[in-house]
A and B are shown apart, each in its own frame.
Chain A
C-alpha cells in the first residue's frame, strides 16, 4: 500500500506542495548585484585614499578619491532605479531602524556619498583644504561599513544560502571590496605609484578565496547551489578572473603598465562575477523548497524545535535553544 505517494506523482511525495517554493525569491533586479560591487568599491576606495594620503602617496590618494566618489554617486542611482516606486526613495530616510540593514545602509550610503563627493569636488576645485580633509575623514568613517553591510543585507532574509552564510558574507564582501578598490586604482595609476593598491588587491583575492571556501564548508549541502546553474558559472568565472588577474598584477604589474591595466580589469570583472554569483545563488536556493524544508527539518530533529503542536503535547513545548 502506498501511503505517502501523491496521485499525480508530484507534490506530497517529495514533501512539498507541487514542488513550489516555500519562500519567495527576491524581486531585486540587476541593479542590486551591481550596487554590491559599486558600494564595496566606493567604501574601500575612501579608506585607500585617506591611507595613501597619510602615507604621502598623493597620486594614489587622488585616484582612489575620484574612483570612490564616482562609485558613491552611481550606487544610490542604482538603488533608486530598483525601487518599485522610485519617486519615494526618500521614505528610506524617514526612520532609523537597526533591525533593517537596508535602512542602516541607506544612511551609511548617504554619509559616504555625501562625504566622498564633497571631497572629490573640492579636490577638483583645489579649494577649502580643511573642509576637504574633514570630508575625506568622514568618507573613511562610512567606507568600511558600506563595504561590509551588504553581507548583512543579504543574510537578514529567509533565503537559505544567504541566511546560513551570515557568518561569512560580510567578510566575503569586505575582501571583494578591497580587491576591487585595489584593482581599480591599478587600472588608473602608473605602476610606480600603485604598489599598495597592487598588494591590497592580490592579498584580498587570496582572502576572498579562503572565505568563500569556508562559507561553502559551513553551508554543507546547501553550498551546492554555488556549483549549479548560473551561480555555478559565475562562481567559476569569479575565481578564474580574480585569480588570474591577481597573478598577472603581482608578477608583471610592477613594471608593465599594460599588465597592471589588464590584471586590474580582470580582478574587477571577477569581483563583479562574485557579487552576481552570490546574488544568483540566493535565487536558486529560494526557488527549490528542499533548501528551505530540509535544513528546517534537520534543525527540528536536532533541537526539538518546530511550529507544530501534536495531540497530547502540552502547549508551550517548543523551546528555542539556538
Chain B
C-alpha cells in the first residue's frame, strides 16, 4: 500500500465526514504530571492493572497497553538542554548557559498514533477496528473477538489484549454478564485509545487534552496542528534546544503521517518509539503473490512424487 497521506475509509463517509482531528503532543512543555493518564482512565473506565514501582525514573506505567491508553515516559540523561555553541573566552564550555553537564529530564505522553495507514485496522479479521468519520482508528468492543492479530501488527506496540484474572486483588471482579467461556478471565478483547470517540461525537475535546495543564497535549484539526507544530519547532530551534524534532508530522512517512504526532527532544528510540515505522501491510500484495507461487509449486511437488511407476 502506497502512503497517500489520506486515510483509506475516511473518504467513504461522504456527507457525514468530519474534519480529521488528532493530537499534537509537545513534549518540551510536558511536566510529567500524568493528569492525562488519570483523565483517560476516569473517562474511559479503563481498569487498574497492577501497581508496581519500576525504579525507572518516575515511570510506573511503563508502556501503552490494553489498560494504559496514555503513558508518560520519563528519560533521565546527561545531555545539554541547549545545543552547545562556540565558547567565548571566560565562558563555560556550553556557551555560557551553564547547563553543559546538567541532568536533562525528558517527559513525553505517548498515545495511539491513529495512523493514516493503520496496520491494526488493515489486519483486523472481523472489521472490529474501523476508521471513524474523524479519521481516527477505533476498536468496536461489541465486535472484537480477541484474536490478537492487531497486537503484533502495530509498529508502535500500542494495542494489547485485556486479560485480567477475576480473582486478582483489586480487580473489578468477574462480571455476571460475561460468558462462562471466559473462565477466570475478565475480558479477552483488545483495547486502545479511541481518541475519545464518544466525546468527539458530543463536540468535546478528548479527556487527556482537556486535563493537560500545560497544553503539552493539544487537540484539534490535524492540518492546524501541523502548522502549529512547525512554528513551535522553528521557535525551539531558534532558542537552541538540543535534539528538537517532530515525530510523525510528515504525511510522507511509512504510515502516511500520524493522527497523533509529537515534538520530541531526542531521537524516537530514546522514548521507546520506532525511528522509521512502516505500515506492516505495505507489502501484503507482494506477499499474496509470493504465497500463490508457493502454493502452485506445492501442487507440482505433490504431483511429481507420483512420477515413475505406480504405487
Cα separation A17 to B156 with both chains bound (whole Å): 13
Does A125 have its Cβ within 8 Å of any Cβ on chain B?
no
CB nearest neighbor in B for A24: B157
B152 touches A17 (CB 8 A): no
Do A311 and B297 touch across chains, with their CB atoms under 8 A apart?
Answer: no
Does A91 contact B253, Cβ atoms closer than 8 Å? no
In the complex, whether A111 has a CB less than 8 A from a CB of chain B is no
User: Does the CB pair A24–B75 fall under 8 Å?
Assistant: no
Q: Does A39 contact B (CB under 8 A)?
A: no
Closest A residue to B264 by CB, please name it. A308
Instruction: Tell me whether B225 is interfacial, beta carbon within 8 Å.
Output: no
Q: Is the CB of B128 within 8 A of A91?
A: yes
Is A68 in the interface zone, CB < 8 Å from B? no
Note all chain B residues with C-beta closer than 8 A to A2. Answer: 78
Chain B residues with CB under 8 Å of A23's CB are 152, 154-157, 274
Please determine whether B247 and A308 come into contact, CB atoms closer than 8 angstroms: yes
- In the bound complex, residues from chain B placing their C-beta under 8 Å from that of A297 are 269, 275-276
Question: Which residues from B are CB-within-8-Å of A149?
Answer: 291
Given contact pairs A22-B274, A84-B163, A296-B275, A311 touches B244 in the complex (Cβ within 8 A): yes
Which residue of B3, B226, B287, B288 has the most chain A CB atoms within 10 A of its CB atom? B287
Residue of A nearest to B149 (CB): A102
Closest residue of chain B to A292, judged by CB?
B274
Chain A: interface residue total (CB-CB under 8 A): 105
Q: Is the CB–CB distance between A318 and B252 below 8 Å?
A: yes
How would residues 141 to 181 of chain A score, 1 for a CB under 8 Å from any chain B CB and 0 otherwise? 00011011101100111110001001100110010011000
A27-B310 in contact (CB<8A): no
0 or 1 for each of B158-175: is its CB under 8 Å from A? (1 = yes): 111111000000000000
Whole-angstrom CA separation of A233 from B244 in the bound complex: 45
- A12 interface residue per 8 A CB criterion: yes
Query: A16, A84, A147 — which one has the most chain B CB atoms within 10 A of its CB?
Result: A84
Is B230 located at the chain interface by the 8 A CB criterion?
yes
Q: Does A7 contact B (CB under 8 A)?
A: yes
A130 at the interface (CB under 8 A from B): no
Question: In the complex, how many angstroms separate the beta carbon of B251 from the nearest chain A beta carbon?
Answer: 7
Question: Is there contact, CB below 8 Å, between A100 and B122?
Answer: yes
Q: Would you call B103 an interface residue if the criterion is a C-beta within 8 Å of the partner chain's C-beta atoms? A: yes
B-contacting 9-mer, from A224-232, A240-248, A258-266, A298-306? A298-306
Known: A3-B78, A4-B77. 11 other contacts (CB 8 A): A8-B55, A88-B144, A95-B125, A156-B280, A157-B149, A167-B290, A305-B253, A306-B276, A308-B246, A309-B249, A315-B226
Give A residues with C-beta under 8 Å from B: 1-8, 11-12, 15-18, 20-28, 44, 47-48, 51-52, 55-57, 82-89, 91-92, 94-95, 97-103, 106, 144-145, 147-149, 151-152, 155-159, 163, 166-167, 170-171, 174, 177-178, 182, 192-193, 195-197, 199-200, 203-204, 207, 282, 286, 289, 292-293, 296-297, 299-300, 305-312, 315-320
Subset of 26 A-B contacts with CB under 8 Å: A15-B269, A21-B63, A51-B303, A52-B306, A57-B306, A84-B146, A85-B182, A85-B189, A86-B145, A91-B143, A97-B122, A97-B127, A100-B124, A100-B149, A102-B147, A158-B280, A195-B311, A296-B274, A300-B275, A306-B253, A307-B250, A307-B277, A308-B247, A315-B230, A316-B250, A316-B252
Q: 4 closest Cβ contacts across the A-B interface? A: A84-B146, A84-B188, A17-B272, A311-B237
